[in-house]
């Protein structure tokens, strides 16, 4: 369960702008004999179900040490295990089995480390509609402790913007795949800035230069070098650094299919490989040479010499793995031991770091404001408003001044369906993006899940109410429903309950069934059965399946909508000179006109129930192994 801790956090955050130059607390990261294996999973509906007992070993005994002021680059071909190692070192691997010893100042990963560690993921997970300034200010408000005033937090965000050279695009929106915003390099710097805000002692970066031109890449790595000079420890994965970048790294770890091939200073790498019989003929980018080696490629590159040109790729890799064990492994073990002797394990007050940086209310208020800023663009995009306007005008025309009961009831049931399917699918579709953000922010211990969830739920009210209201206003008068203000507001209220409950169902499905396709299929089946059992289509539901109507959102919403237009005892003309009771009308009879209070209560319980389910399902997101 989520811990609710209210005491003031006393981590030493300098209040001046000098916060960005020196580390609070130098960290030596050591990892020894790290193994990682996972059970393979099968594709399909239930993505996470194990296929068999088949396991894959991804990391095969990787060791290393990085001291304060050093930058380690993990190199290797695609699929060699770089990201896995980085994620494991950052305490973020959630599946599989991680073995080996990973210590931070000779202590295992802890909440204390989590709060002073920055992790920049490969994909920049940022809110697309916020500006650079807003993104960093909201992060500062959440991550810096409550001993800072809002002005001080804002000033820190400003200082980061200046330090990362983002001043020019400060007021531009971040953007995303479908929304033009700042450039890829700027986005990467915003992600790094978010982590720098807390003055991390240890910074992990997954491919911070991927997809960037070499000048921008150099700029980013130079910024990181400046940061490490202040006593920080940095570890990054990188694909193919230019020579200029390569020589900026203090240490290099080369991986090949999860095996270490080299660990040591970048400038010594070529000498080492030449010592074991592998050297390039002409001067070439050292990282290209190392990557070729870890791919076992020699013969198709005439510039690389080997004492045995006939070796195939597998045997070259094997030779290199064995050479590492023979020549470097013992030396590395020795380095790890020596640092043990020199380093006194620091005594940190764990309790102090277990505390949240801000109170629940502060988190709630920042998350609410940020959510409203971001979601207003999603909820009121031109496309969505256009879609709702088009559907409302079309249905208003189709039901134009309808004065027969059958048509009017049909319109009410259409209200039910449209405003059930639409919010449910919208919640399912937008959920993956939300989950990514949540995952990233929760794993850096930014806020309590309850504060996030409450802020989102409260935000749903203004966000989800506007479009259904516009829809009802247009269709209600065009279709000529009961001309009374009370009846109009009662219709609107029923519709809004329907929207919020259906959205809650979408959220619960999105959170429980992690795969969007499966959630969509499941959602449509559930909604369809609710619709069919809603009382409009099937009047005599067989007994054994009649229970569905008691859990059907449609049934309760339909009942409320009927209640907004008709009262018990109302009549309609059912034949020439004859009137019949409305409640006896075939598609009203199974539902009846009474029991409105029960329907409101049932919808209220569903509203809470579905959101509670979503909350429980979300609890597993972003929770990292210690
Ligand atoms: N959860 C998983 N299930 C199955 N295979 C996995 C899983 N996680 C990692 N792998 C596999 O482990 C290997 C290493 O993956 P990893 O992402 O660490 O490689 P990488 O070196 O970072 O690659 P790239 O440079 O392409 O990002 C890959 O073959 C990958 O397919």
The arithmetic mean of pLDDT across residues 422-430, rounded, is 91
Give me 42's structure tokens: 């099968």
pLDDT at residue 14, as a whole number: 44
CA-closest residue to ligand 1 atom 7? 38
CA-84 nearest atom, ligand 1: 18
pLDDT at residue 7, as a whole number: 36
The arithmetic mean of pLDDT across residues 34-39, rounded, is 91
Cα distance between residue 589 and residue 491, in whole Å: 19
pLDDT digits (tens, 9 = 90+) for 491-516: 999 999 999 999 999 999 998 987 88
Q: What is the mean pLDDT of the chain?
A: 84
pLDDT at residue 376, as a whole number: 87
**83: CA distance to ligand 1 center in Å?**
7
Q: What is the ipTM of this complex?
A: 0.96
The arithmetic mean of pLDDT across residues 294-315, rounded, is 63
The arithmetic mean of pLDDT across residues 473-485, rounded, is 91
pLDDT at residue 52, as a whole number: 55
pLDDT at residue 22, as a whole number: 57
Q: Is the pLDDT of residue 212 over 90?
A: no
Q: Among 54, 55, 73, 81, name the best residue to mutate to test ligand 1's pocket (greatest count of ligand atoms within 8 A of Cβ).
A: 81
Give me 269's structure tokens: 């790498």
CA-closest residue to ligand 1 atom 4? 40
CA 224 to chain centre: 25
pLDDT at residue 625, as a whole number: 42
Does residue 259 line the site of ligand 1, with CB under 6 A?
no
Find residue 571's DSSP bridge partners.
581
CA-80 nearest atom, ligand 1: 21
**Residue 470: Cβ within 10 Å count:** 14
Closest C-alpha to 541, from 510, 587, 508, 500: 587
Lowest mean pLDDT among 140-149, 232-241, 352-361: 352-361
pLDDT digits (tens, 9 = 90+) for 370-420: 999 998 887 888 888 999 999 999 999 999 998 888 899 999 999 999 999
pLDDT digits (tens, 9 = 90+) for 74-121: 999 999 999 999 999 988 887 889 999 999 888 888 777 777 788 998
Does residue 84 line the site of ligand 1, with CB under 6 A?
yes
CA-closest residue to ligand 1 atom 10? 58
The arithmetic mean of pLDDT across residues 141-169, rounded, is 90
Residues of the chain with pLDDT > 70: what percent? 88
Cα distance between residue 212 and residue 214, in whole Å: 6
Cα 113-119-121 angle, rounded to 5 deg: 155
The arithmetic mean of pLDDT across residues 55-84, rounded, is 92
Name the residue with tokens 């619709």. Answer: 531
**405: CA distance to ligand 1 center in Å?**
62
Structural contact between residues 2 and 448, judged by C-beta atoms closer than 8 angstroms: yes
Does residue 37 line the site of ligand 1, with CB under 6 A?
no
Does residue 78 line the site of ligand 1, with CB under 6 A?
yes
- The model's confidence at residue 355, banded by pLDDT at 50, 70 and 90, is low
If one compares 114 and 349, the residue with the highest pLDDT of the two is: 114
Q: Is the pLDDT of residue 231 over 70?
A: yes
Does residue 286 line the site of ligand 1, with CB under 6 A?
no
CA-closest residue to ligand 1 atom 29? 79
**387: CA distance to ligand 1 center in Å?**
41
- Going by the DSSP 8-state scheme, the letter that residue 178 receives in this structure is T
289 class by beta-carbon count within 10 Å (0-12 exposed, 13-18 middle, 19+ buried): buried
The arithmetic mean of pLDDT across residues 327-337, rounded, is 86
pLDDT at residue 139, as a whole number: 94
pLDDT digits (tens, 9 = 90+) for 549-581: 889 999 999 999 999 999 988 888 888 888 889
| Cα distances (Å, whole numbers) of residue 566 to 81, 100, 316, 338, 554 | 66, 71, 83, 85, 18
CA-95 nearest atom, ligand 1: 1
- The model's confidence at residue 16, banded by pLDDT at 50, 70 and 90, is very low
Cα 373-377-379 angle, rounded to 5 deg: 105
CA-122 nearest atom, ligand 1: 27
Q: Is the pLDDT of residue 163 over 90?
A: no
């Amino acid at each position: 369960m989520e811990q609710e801790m209210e005491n003031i956090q006393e981590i030493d955050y300098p209040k001046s702008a000098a916060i960005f130059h020196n580390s609070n607390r130098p960290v030596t990261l050591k990892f020894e004999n790290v193994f990682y294996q996972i059970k393979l999973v099968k594709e399909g509906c239930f993505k996470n179900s194990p296929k068999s007992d088949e396991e894959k070993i991804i990391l095969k005994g990787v060791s290393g040490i990085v001291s304060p002021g050093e930058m380690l680059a993990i190199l290797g071909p695609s699929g060699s295990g770089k990201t896995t190692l980085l994620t494991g070192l950052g305490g973020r691997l959630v599946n599989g089995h991680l073995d080996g010893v990973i210590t931070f100042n000779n202590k295992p990963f802890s909440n204390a480390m989590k709060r002073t560690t920055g992790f920049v993921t490969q994909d920049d997970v940022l809110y697309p509609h916020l500006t650079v300034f807003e993104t960093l200010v909201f992060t500062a408000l959440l991550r810096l402790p409550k001993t800072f005033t809002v002005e001080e937090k804002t000033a820190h965000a400003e200082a980061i913007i200046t330090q990362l050279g983002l001043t020019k695009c400060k007021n531009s929106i971040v953007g995303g795949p479908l929304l033009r915003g700042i450039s890829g390099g700027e986005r990467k710097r915003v992600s790094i800035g978010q982590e720098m805000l807390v003055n991390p002692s240890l910074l992990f970066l997954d491919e911070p230069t991927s997809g960037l031109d070499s000048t921008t890449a150099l700029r980013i790595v130079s910024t990181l070098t400046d940061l490490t000079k202040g006593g920080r420890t940095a570890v990054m994965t990188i694909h193919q650094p230019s020579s200029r970048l390569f020589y900026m790294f203090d240490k290099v770890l080369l991986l090949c299919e999860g095996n270490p091939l080299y660990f040591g200073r970048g400038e010594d790498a070529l000498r080492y490989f030449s010592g074991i019989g592998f050297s390039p003929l002409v001067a070439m980018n050292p990282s290209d040479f190392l990557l070729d080696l870890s791919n076992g490629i020699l013969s198709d590159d005439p510039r690389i010499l080997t004492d045995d040109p006939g070796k195939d790729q597998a045997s070259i890799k094997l030779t290199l793995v064995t050479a590492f064990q023979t020549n470097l492994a013992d030396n590395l073990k020795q380095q790890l031991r020596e640092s043990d002797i020199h380093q006194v394990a620091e005594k940190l007050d764990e309790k102090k770091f277990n505390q949240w940086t801000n109170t629940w209310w502060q988190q709630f208020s920042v998350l609410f404001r940020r959510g409203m800023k971001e979601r207003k663009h999603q909820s009121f995009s031109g496309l969505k408003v256009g879609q709702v306007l088009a559907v409302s005008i079309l249905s208003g025309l189709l039901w134009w001044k309808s004065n027969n009961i059958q048509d009017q009831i049909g319109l009410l049931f259409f209200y039910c369906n449209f405003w059930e399917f639409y919010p449910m699918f919208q919640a399912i579709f937008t959920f993956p993006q939300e989950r990514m953000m949540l995952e990233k922010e929760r794993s850096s211990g930014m806020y309590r899940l309850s504060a996030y969830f409450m802020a989102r739920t409260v935000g749903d009210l203004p966000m989800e109410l506007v479009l259904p209201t516009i829809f009802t206003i247009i269709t209600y008068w065009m279709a000529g429903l009961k001309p009374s203000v009370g009846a109009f507001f009662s219709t609107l209220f029923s519709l809004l309950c329907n929207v919020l409950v259906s959205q809650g169902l979408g959220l619960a499905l999105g959170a429980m069934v992690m795969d969007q396709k499966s959630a969509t299929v499941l959602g449509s089946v559930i909604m369809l059965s609710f619709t069919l059992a809603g009382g409009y289509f099937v009047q005599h539901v067989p007994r054994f399946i009649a229970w569905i109507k008691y859990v059907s959102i449609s049934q309760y919403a339909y009942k409320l909508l009927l209640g907004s237009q008709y009262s018990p005892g109302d009549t309609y003309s059912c034949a020439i000179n004859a009137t019949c009771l409305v409640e006896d009308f075939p598609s009203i009879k199974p539902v009846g006109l009474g029991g409105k209070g029960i329907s409101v209560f049932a919808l209220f319980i569903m509203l809470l129930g579905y959101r509670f389910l979503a909350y429980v399902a979300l609890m597993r997101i972003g929770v990292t192994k210690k």
